Structure 1
């Protein structure tokens, strides 16, 4: 039997344990799960989807499915932020509702959590589902973090057009107490996930009041307008068994075509994956694929600037 890169990496001990941290950003407490590398290749800012929180990127009970633990083991510092209105900022939902405010809080939280630490080659933004709205807004800005420009953007679990059965289920309070329909959309086929995670109970979180409006506007106008402003490399991942968003070739090509200012746009389909890619059995393969893209973003930046690339997980023996 062929041993893949995913097999080799996920058979190694993953000892990094993320810590929960809270920082104050202009009077708003912002929380995150953080996994640090001593000398980071780069920093990953991970933004969860709706009705969950930063635990999405640290799969409960399954450390090898955890982006935080895997990426830190491979030399990346990962900040899985509780998006504004989640985690420590849950009581400030009305204050954080404006989009510009949420972008400022995202940048501010990362800067304070890093607190002058090395960011390596820069910061890569990684998002899932409803977190893609904030991630794309952050990527569309011209700001950097830690004195470096953003490296690139990963989007998953999102799109431009819902599957026919979806509109009545999303953008409502149904996401806080999943109905059979929402369970079907987000957690099937069930064999793709550890059994105790199906339905999302271990990672469930209340949804801030502003989010249904954001979710409703995202495919209608926000995604198109914001995508056109992104000037960094983009990777878009559709799950093989995505049931929320259209992910057929014409739909994916339409998404690709929106990133008119990005220097590079890659479209991928993750085999064996469902909507919640970072929680399923395909998570290690998915995470490694995106980390390879991060490496390519770093290499592209280094070629453009003439600098030496930092050590990376793809350089054995370093």
Structure 2
């Protein structure tokens, strides 16, 4: 046991709340007198367990952030976890945004919030995060972390989509190799996501017009933004090109910070470098909570 692991002993528990008759589930790590609250939104084909992988507390965002003094809520996004199967309540972005906000409010009932809420999103969860950041209810929002998303797909992902289009028997592109590349970036029992996987709701197979929505939503985000792409990202174009391209959309943000996570694949929160990634972004969350102002040259800065 390393000296850090006892600090990650914060209890993580599952909680289910009611949102207008639909159950909403989440993993929660609560601390007394938190500096702030982090709301962590998982990506596609997984659940909130992405942020607290079974058997790997060192990789857990919930445990690491709680050790740093933050309460963390990791809701199962609309259509996942307890809300799976309630498709009539999840069809539109507005419905999903409302559901997410109602769930967060119910989870935060009687809990201290510190100075506000920070949204931390991975991959497909970034769409929900941007809608939430554009909502009038985002008044106490401190900032946003977006990981594993972009505007231009990586050539490997493009090939998978082309194979899908050429074979009508396929129901969706097979991106498994790109999502979990390279294998050595993950512990053996984590690679492939067998213990955290879940069926995707129907709406995630219909994302026409998302690029236009991304440009519109990103331009209206009025809080600091942190963007992370993995060194070995194979779903989106990464490196300086991918990072700067995405950063250029956030014209209304007072601060945009870019980070390439060394040694990581697409799933940055469950790879071997997850702790390094979490600590890096938690430093940004702390700065947002303290109200650190943007520097004149901040926009587009790449931490590397």
With structure 1 as the length reference, what TM-score do the two structures score?
0.85
Distance 1:95 1:64 in 2: 36
- Corresponding position: 1:153 with 2:147: no
Number of residue equivalences: 288
Give, in angstroms, the shift of residue 262 of structure 1: 0.6
- Corresponding position: 1:267 with 2:258: yes
Partner of 1:203: 196
- Corresponding position: 1:66 with 2:66: no
From the superposition, tell whether residues 183 and 234 of structure 1 become closer, same or farther in structure 2 (CA, over 3 Å): same
SS in 1 for 2:74: strand
Distance 1:133 1:168 in 2: 23
Give, in angstroms, the shift of residue 187 of structure 1: 1.1
SS in 2 for 1:141: coil
Structure 2: 5+ residue runs without aligned partners? 165-169, 295-304
SS in 1 for 2:202: coil
With structure 2 as the length reference, what TM-score do the two structures score?
0.89
RMSD: 2.4
Is this contact kept in 1: 2:229–2:239, CA < 8 A? Answer: no
Structure 1: 5+ residue runs without aligned partners? 1-7, 305-318
Bigger mean CA deviation after superposition, 18-27 or 237-246 = 18-27
Is this contact kept in 1: 2:234–2:266, CA < 8 A? Answer: yes
Is this contact kept in 1: 2:89–2:96, CA < 8 A? Answer: no
- Corresponding position: 1:281 with 2:285: no
SS in 1 for 2:177: helix
2:180 to 182, 187, 190: 187
Partner of 1:315: none
Distance 1:46 1:296 in 2: 18
Partner of 2:107: 113
Partner of 1:40: 34
SS in 1 for 2:73: strand
Distance 1:15 1:105 in 2: 31
CA deviation profile, 1:203-262 (whole Å, cap 9, x unmatched)? 010100011113x543x2221111011000000001001011001323321211110111
Give, in angstroms, the shift of residue 94 of structure 1: 3.1
Is this contact kept in 2: 1:141–1:230, CA < 8 A? Answer: no
From the superposition, tell whether residues 178 and 35 of structure 1 become closer, same or farther in structure 2 (CA, over 3 Å): farther
Distance 1:67 1:178 in 2: 32
Partner of 1:309: none
Partner of 1:299: 290
